[in-house]
Copies of this chain bind each other. A is one copy, B any other.
Amino acid sequence: MANIQQVAEKAGVSVATVSRVLNHAASVSTKTRLKVENAIKELNYEPSMLGRNLRNSESRLLLVLLPSISNPFYTEIINGIQNTAIANSYNILLCETDSNPQRENIYFNMIKNKLADGVISMDPTVNRQKLTELAESHPVILCSEYDEGGSVPFVTIDSELAAYQAVKHLIRLGNKKIALINSDEKFLYARQRRSGYERALKEFDLPIREEWIYHTRDLEFQNGVQAMRMLLELEEKPTAVFAVSDTLAIGALKGINGSGLHVPNDLAIIGFDNISFSNMTNPTLTTVSQPMYKMGVTAANMLIMSIKGEQVESVVLDHDLIIRESTMG
């Protein structure tokens, strides 16, 4: 790869002039510009991001942190981020953290080191303190999961309300025994969704029974299968299940297969996220749809504003209840 020196030499000008051509400075005469452009073409030259970034403290690269790419929930969000980034001449790099603080740290360092201009974190278990610290001096936006009462701007939905509405839908269908398949309540969204679940039950004077609340370790299908098996072993079985993620709900659906029970006649199920799989199951899955693409777009716009030094406000977007076969008894 040629460097700027060689281009300058070939064009018979100084490196400063080449740099000016590269940056479309107005003060270059047409004649020299053409000379330089030819030299660039001949040498197949492309400017080094490294040299440029070192000097400019700008990389036009955005980092997107996510715990795992295996959850399809992130797919559409990333599309939104990516399209918005590209429209603003930024590129994105996806960083899978596996919720491992050490890995997170490596990516935080990329930001500190100007290898990237900002970060959108979708990792719920992120090291709070490190992140807040980073956010003091660098652009950071949280997406989906956020820090209650924290200072880092976020974009999310009203999980409590969504859960409340989902459970209310189950109650309206006549269900009185409603189970909750929740993830670990160290996550804010898990606490919020539980809270919405309880609010709906209370409103209709239904009891909150601990044995109908199951906590899973992860959000994989298998965790949902396991949860459902436990619920089906109870003496008093629920007649409906609200799972806090589609992956869990799909696993639960699987757990019911072969038990002789029928969805939705014996047991109604609602998921959360509206991942593309949720429409492929048999029966198809009723679920809460998050505006994932829009979340991505919003987060990216917020980050880019933040990089420009503008103030940004957190945003709460609307959700939808998508009613499908798993609750159409």
A interface with B by C-beta (< 8 Å): 1, 46-51, 53-54, 68-70, 72, 74-75, 78, 82, 86, 91-96, 98, 103, 106-107, 109-110, 112-115, 137, 220-221, 250-251, 253-254, 257, 276-277, 279-282
Contacts and interface: CB of A to CB of B under 8 A. Distances in A.
B94 A46 contact: no
B50 A114 contact: yes
A90 to B, nearest CB: 10
A93 B91 contact: no
Contacts of A280: 221, 250-251, 253-254, 277, 281
B112 A221 contact: no
Copies in the complex: 2
A51 B48 contact: no
A78 B50 contact: no
B91 A94 contact: no
Contacts of A93: 93-95
A115 to B, nearest CB: 5
Contacts of A47: 113
A103 B79 CA distance: 13
Nearest to A82: B96
Nearest to A254: B280
B49 A69 contact: no
A51 B49 contact: no
A310 to B, nearest CB: 22
Contacts of A110: 49
Contact of A109 (B49, B54, B251): B49
Contacts of A114: 48, 50
Nearest to A75: B70
Contacts of A277: 221, 250, 277, 280
B82 A106 contact: no
B46 A50 contact: no
Contacts of A46: 109, 112-113
Contacts of A253: 280, 282
Given A70-B276, A251-B280, A254-B280, A50 B48 contact: no
Contacts of A276: 70, 220-221
30 contacts: A1-B112, A1-B113, A1-B137, A46-B109, A46-B113, A49-B110, A49-B113, A49-B115, A50-B50, A50-B53, A50-B54, A50-B113, A50-B115, A54-B54, A68-B75, A69-B94, A70-B276, A72-B72, A86-B103, A93-B93, A94-B94, A94-B95, A115-B115, A220-B276, A221-B277, A254-B280, A254-B282, A257-B282, A277-B277, A282-B282
Nearest to A115: B49
A283 to B, nearest CB: 9
A49 B276 CA distance: 39
Given A48-B113, A82-B96, A221-B277, 19 more contacts: A1-B112, A1-B113, A46-B109, A46-B113, A48-B54, A49-B110, A49-B115, A68-B75, A69-B69, A70-B72, A70-B276, A72-B72, A91-B107, A92-B96, A93-B93, A115-B115, A250-B280, A257-B282, A277-B277
